[in-house]
Structure formats: C-alpha cells, structure tokens
C-alpha cells in the first residue's frame, strides 16, 4: 500500500491525527512532548484508497541534543520511505524555528508534502495562522484532531495524492495473483534446467538435448502445484562472453539476465556431475547483485558418488558447493535428479516455505529494539575518536519484491563511513536470528545524518 508519513515537531498532535485517520486509539496521546517512542503503522480508515499511516512521533526523542535533531531524523525517515508526507504544525503556537527548519528539509522531498494545521477549533482562528504560508508548502488544510474538524477534507486530499499509486498497487497485486510465483531457472548450459522444468510439469514442454545451448529464449510456463500458481521461466544457459560467438546467443544471455531481474526467486541449477564452474559463480553473482531470493538445485545427484549413502553424499555435495559459492551463503540446497524426477517437487515445496517465512516482516519497534540490543552487546569499533551511532532503523520493500518480500533495512546513523564490513555482517547475523528466512538476502541501506549526507549505500549480507 502507499505509505503516508505523519511528521512534525513534538506535541503538535501527530498521534491524535494518526488515531483519527485510523479510527482507532493506537498511538498514545499526551501533552508531554516525545511520548511516542516506537514508529507505529496502521491502515487509514477514512480514505477511499487503501494506504498505510506511519506515526513518526518521538523518533530520536531521547537524543541529548534536543528536538531539533529529533525532527531532522523524522524528516529523513519520511523522505526515504513515504509516498506522501503530512507535515503537522500547531495553529496555537504559529510558526517556530523548528517548523521552518523541518519545512526546508521536506521541500527537498521527491514525494509530495501536505501542510496540515492542527488545533484549529473554530473558524475564528483562520487568520491566526496566516504566517504559516511562509513555509512554502501552500495554504494547508485546517483540522482539529481533538474535535474531528476538517478530517473529511484531509481524507479527500490524501485520496487525490495516492489514487495513482493505489491503482498501480492494485494492478500489481492482480498481476502477481495471475502469474503466481515467478521462478527463473538459471544455470550454465547443459546443467539440466529444461529437464528440471519437464520433470516438474511431467511433460516434454521444453527441448532437452545433450547439446549445450539448446534453449535459446526465456520461456514462461504456467503451472499449478498444491493449489498455488507458479510461472516457471526456463532460460538459456549463460556462457562466458568470450564464447558467445553468435548474435542470437548474445540476445539469449540478455533475456536470461532480464529473467533474473523480473523473477520472484531464482533456482540456480548446478550440475553435480561436472562440479561448480566459473560460469556458475558468475551467474550466482548476478543473482546476488540483483538481491534476489535463491535456492540452489543440486541436479544429477544420482551421478554424484553413486553407491555411497545418501546422507554422506548430500553433506559432501553441499560442502563442496558452499565452498565454491560462499558469497551466496543465504541460499539453501535441494538435491534432485531431473532425469529420473526424484525430489523435483521438493523444489516447489521449498519455494512455498520460503514465501511463507518471508511474508512476516518484523515491526519497526521490534527491529529497533533488536538493533539497540546488538549495539549494546557488541558496540561498533572506534574510528579515530568517534564511534558509529544508530539513531533509527526501518524497513522498505521494493515493488519488485512484492510476492517474496526482500526488505531493505534502512539504518539512520551519525556517519555511514564508520560502518565497517565486519560490523555490518554482525548486524546481518542478528537480523537472521530475528527473522530466520532461508533463501532471502539481507540488504542494508545506511544513511548518514550529517548536514549534507551522500546517497545511501546498499549492500547485501
């Protein structure tokens, strides 16, 4: 759903507005500034189009350097994650320096910003906040969260902004339901990709040959298994660029790379009989670079040390592949034999298990408590005389990863240059303890809270 963030300095009524729009008393309302500690989400109940409300009240409220730093962090989070920003100001107190500073930050937002003037309890106050137009965000919408005035107009204004986004989301959901889970079946030539597809479909829908490179195009094949829809994308095997001696093979490789990008999950097929090759590693790197969920299918398992016990063979195969593809450590294994059809449907059952586990995202409050505990247990290393400080953490899910969510963990810190690789890996391990989802990578976007921070740096762990 489109995200609507509610921001403003403390005690302007953000939580009261949140509760009115959600039609529930979710956020705590109190005269004491900074009462809200966790970022709270809830669906909006007043708008015609579905959207997610985010109450940012209290973010950073325990910082020693006061409310100015607090609202700056709120603004940065809204800028990074919201489709629409509601900037709340207080009609009684009028324009304040913190309001002006926050408005300056919000004017840089790519998402639209709507000025909402709270505590307008009667029409007589309409001239009392004329100076708020100096914020450069329009005349604003006057509301009273205490008495419920102006909320129909506010809901209509929100609808006008989110209607195009809501339509796109509904279309994306409908398309996803029709195509089901899109699986890109990738690997080097002659690894057994088409044989795997035929074994799953129990039909010779794709050409199988010992001649490497028989499949030239990415082929979409719908399939239903245990009541769930899938789209199997059989792709051409990727050869090294130096061996792509035909223009048609170059285009086949491009289609394979595109299939990886538009997939919900990649099945990387490894030929156990010939072992892991340099080309296997290159394909694995493409999957990693796209931050795609992945399951490694160890094909031709029947030809791997035949005669030895299955348990010992499986352990040796996994150890060998894990050593060669160490950077794809988040991908689980399934041992199959596409030629005989053995265990091929275990692949789809593994996919369904991954989707179920990935659908549960940790709440923002839970995530921040986990990170705070991680920082307390093992503080970041000193860089000179300074140490990395975490202000806030949240998650964002790209539309491309709707079916099997791959959240980006957005960390707002004092200076992202102090985030070392080893400490990032430590945090990734803590996330995996909190959210043990095999096949799904952990992606970070670290944002500096310096006055002119560089763009966030996204990394996978």
pLDDT in tens, 304-313: 888 889 899 9
Confidence of residue 55 (pLDDT cuts 50, 70, 90): confident
Mean pLDDT over residues 108-112, rounded?
83
In 10 A of CB 25, how many CB atoms?
12
pLDDT at 175: 60
Q: How far apart are CA 363 and CA 394, in angstroms?
A: 9
Measuring CA to CA, how many Å separate 79 from each of 84, 144, 455? 9, 25, 12
Q: Of 376, 386, 397, nearest to 443 (Cα)? A: 397
Of the ranges 170-184, 194-208, 241-255, which one carries the lowest mean pLDDT score?
Answer: 241-255
Least confidently predicted of 165-179, 315-329, 330-344: 165-179
Asked if residues 393 and 409 have their Cβ atoms less than 8 Å apart, the reply is yes
Residue predicted with more confidence, 157 or 100: 157
Q: Rg of the chain over CA atoms, in angstroms?
A: 26
Q: How many CB atoms lie within 10 A of CB 362?
A: 17
What kind of architecture, by CATH, is found in domain 3-175?
Answer: 3-Layer(aba) Sandwich (3.40)
Question: What pLDDT digit, counting tens, does each position of 387-415 carry?
Answer: 999 988 888 877 666 789 899 998 988 89
Residue with tokens 């795997």: 196
- Bridging pattern class, strands 40-43 and 52-55: antiparallel
Give 212's pLDDT tier (boundaries 50, 70, 90): very low
**Fold for the domain defined by 364-460:** GMP Synthetase; Chain A, domain 3 (3.30.300)
Question: Which pLDDT score is estimated for 159?
Answer: 93
Q: Does residue 343 carry a pLDDT above 90?
A: no
With tokens 């063979």, the residue in question is 313
Which strand (E) or helix (H) includes residue 4? strand 3-7
DSSP reduced 3-state for 49: coil
- Residue-range domain boundaries for the chain: 3-175, 180-358, 364-460
Q: What is the pLDDT of residue 156?
A: 94
Distance CA 332, CA 357 (A): 14
pLDDT at 318: 93
Adjacency order of strands within the sheet including 294-299: 219-225, 228-234, 181-186, 265-271, 294-299, 333-335
Domains 3-175 and 364-460 equal at CATH topology level: no
Torsion of CA 423, 429, 434, 438, to 10 degrees: 140
Residue 450's pLDDT band (cuts 50, 70, 90)? low
**pTM greater than 0.85 (yes/no):** no
Alpha-carbon distance of 152 to 60, in angstroms, equals 31
Residue 55: its H or E element: strand 52-55
pLDDT of residue 418: 93
Q: Give the contacts of 384 (CB within 8 A, at least 6 positions apart).
A: none
**366 has a pLDDT exceeding 90:** no
Does 330 have pLDDT greater than 80? yes
Query: Which of 27-36, 282-291, 418-427 is predicted least confidently?
Result: 27-36
Helix (H, G, I), strand (E, B) or coil at 325: coil
Residue identified by tokens 């992945």 is 294
Q: What is the pLDDT of residues 4-42, one digit of tens each?
A: 988 888 888 888 899 899 887 654 444 444 433 344 678
Question: What does the CA dihedral 284, 288, 293, 298 come to, rounded to 10 degrees?
Answer: 20
CATH superfamily of 180-358: P-loop containing nucleotide triphosphate hydrolases (3.40.50.300)
Q: Which residues contact 98 (CB under 8 A, 6 or more apart)?
A: 9, 67, 68, 71
Mean pLDDT rounded to a whole number for the chain = 80
């Amino acid at each position: 759903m489109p995200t609507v963030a509610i921001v403003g300095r403390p005690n302007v009524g953000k939580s009261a507005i949140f509760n009115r729009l959600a039609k529930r008393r979710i956020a705590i309302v109190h005269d004491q500034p900074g009462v809200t500690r966790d970022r709270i989400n809830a669906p909006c109940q007043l708008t015609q189009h579905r959207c997610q409300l985010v109450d940012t009240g209290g973010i950073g409220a325990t910082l020693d350097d006061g409310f100015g730093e607090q609202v700056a962090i709120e603004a940065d989070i809204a800028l990074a994650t919201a489709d629409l920003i509601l900037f709340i100001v207080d009609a009684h107190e009028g324009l304040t320096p913190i309001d002006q500073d926050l408005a300056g930050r919000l004017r840089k937002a790519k998402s639209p910003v709507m000025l909402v003037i709270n505590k307008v309890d009667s029409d007589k106050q309409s001239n009392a906040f004329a100076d708020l137009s100096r914020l450069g965000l329009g005349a604003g919408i006057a509301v009273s969260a205490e008495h419920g005035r102006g909320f129909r107009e506010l809901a209509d204004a929100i609808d006008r902004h989110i209607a195009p986004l809501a339509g796109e989301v509904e279309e994306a959901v409908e398309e996803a339901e029709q195509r089901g889970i899109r699986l890109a079946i990738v690997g080097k030539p002659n690894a057994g990709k088409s044989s795997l597809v035929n074994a799953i479909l129990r039909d010779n829908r794709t050409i199988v040959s010992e001649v490497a490179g028989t499949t030239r195009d990415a082929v979409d094949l719908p399939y239903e298994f245990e009541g769930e829809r899938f789209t199997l994308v059989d792709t051409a095997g990727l050869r090294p660029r130096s061996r792509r001696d035909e223009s048609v093979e170059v285009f086949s490789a491009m289609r394979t790379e595109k299939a990886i990008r538009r997939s919900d999950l990649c099945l990387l097929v490894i030929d156990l009989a010939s072992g892991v090759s340099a080309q296997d590693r290159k394909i694995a790197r493409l999957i990693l670079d796209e931050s795609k969920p992945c399951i490694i299918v160890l094909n031709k398992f029947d030809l791997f040390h035949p005669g030895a016990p299955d348990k010992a063979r499986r352990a040796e195969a996994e150890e060998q592949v894990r050593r060669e593809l160490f950077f794809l450590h988040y991908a689980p294994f399934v041992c199959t034999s596409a030629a005989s059809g053995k265990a091929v449907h275990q692949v789809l059952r593994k996919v369904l298990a991954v989707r179920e586990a990935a659908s549960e995202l940790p709440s923002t409050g839970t995530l921040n408590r986990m990170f705070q505990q991680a920082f307390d247990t093992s503080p970041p290393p000193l860089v000179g005389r300074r140490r990395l400080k975490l202000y806030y953490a949240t998650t964002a899910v790209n539309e491309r990863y709707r079916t099997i969510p791959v959240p980006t963990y957005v960390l707002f810190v004092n200076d992202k240059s102090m985030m070392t690789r080893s400490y990032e890996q430590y945090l990734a391990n803590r996330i995996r303890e909190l959210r043990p989802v095999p096949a799904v990578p952990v992606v970070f976007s670290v944002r500096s809270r310096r006055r002119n921070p560089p763009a966030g740096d996204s990394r996978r762990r």
